[in-house]
Amino acid sequence: MIDKFIEGNKRFIAEDFEQDKEHYDQLSQSQSPSVLWIGCSDSRVAPERVTGAKSGEIFVHRNIGNIVPVSDWNFATVLEYAIRHLKVDDIVVCGHSDCGAIKALSGKAGDDAYIPLWLDNAKPAMERAGEKPGTPEGEKEWRRKVEYENVRLQLEHLRVYPIVKWAEKMGKVELHGLYFDLETGDLSKIF
């Protein structure tokens, strides 16, 4: 697989990098993305790909379940850097359909040591969605509701961080909840 990536990189250089050399020369000196994107690690939801963004337009933080953990040093440094140093205008929390984290949230923990602890950051989303229905169609709709509620919850978690409270109050940043549908390819604003 790595050889495939190396070959893909050669195509990238020939078809993109060399064709837009001025843009990539600027990026080699500094970055100035306008958006902080908090998304899921799911390999099917690549932010630049689903938005059509160019390299350098999005500052990305991805994790299982597009979670904004409260009191997490790693995440706090991402926020601080994005807001204070990159001066992003927008912060996006993007959820998606068929999210494995949401499926795991509503299932049994199994033998995993870390995943259930991480998913505790999203449990209120499941509680807000109400009781899980007994039919496959109902369960699919319910999971989507949990995925939406998880985006809403993570936006609330963002507002716990003092840097975000300050930036919103000063009008320096706007928060957005987006949702990507894997079946249709549609990216929509939900909050």
The annotated binding site for Zn(2+) is made up of 40, 96, 99
The catalytically annotated residue of 61, 94, 96, 144 is 96
Residue 50 is which amino acid? V
- 94 a catalytic residue: no
The catalytically annotated residue of 3, 11, 23, 42 is 42
- 40 a catalytic residue: yes
The catalytically annotated residue of 11, 44, 84, 159 is 44
The catalytically annotated residue of 40, 94, 144, 157 is 40
Q: CB–CB of 35/92 below 8 Å?
A: yes
List, as residue ranges, the binding site: 40, 96, 99
Q: Tell me the C-alpha distance between 41 and 27, whole Å.
A: 24
The catalytically annotated residue of 99, 143, 144, 157 is 99
Q: What is the 3-state secondary structure (H, E, C) of the chain?
A: CHHHHHHHHHHHHHHHHCCCHHHHHHHCCCCCCCEEEEEECCCCCCHHHHHCCCCCCEEEEEECCCCCCCCCHHHHHHHHHHHHHCCCCEEEEEEECCCHHHHHHCCCCCCCCCHHHHHHHHHHHHHHCCCCCCCHHHHHHHHHHHHHHHHHHHHHHHCCCHHHHHHHHCCCCEEEEEEECCCCCCEEECC
Residue reference for tokens 């987006």: 178
- 44 a catalytic residue: yes
- 89 a catalytic residue: no
The catalytic residues are 40, 42, 44, 96, 99
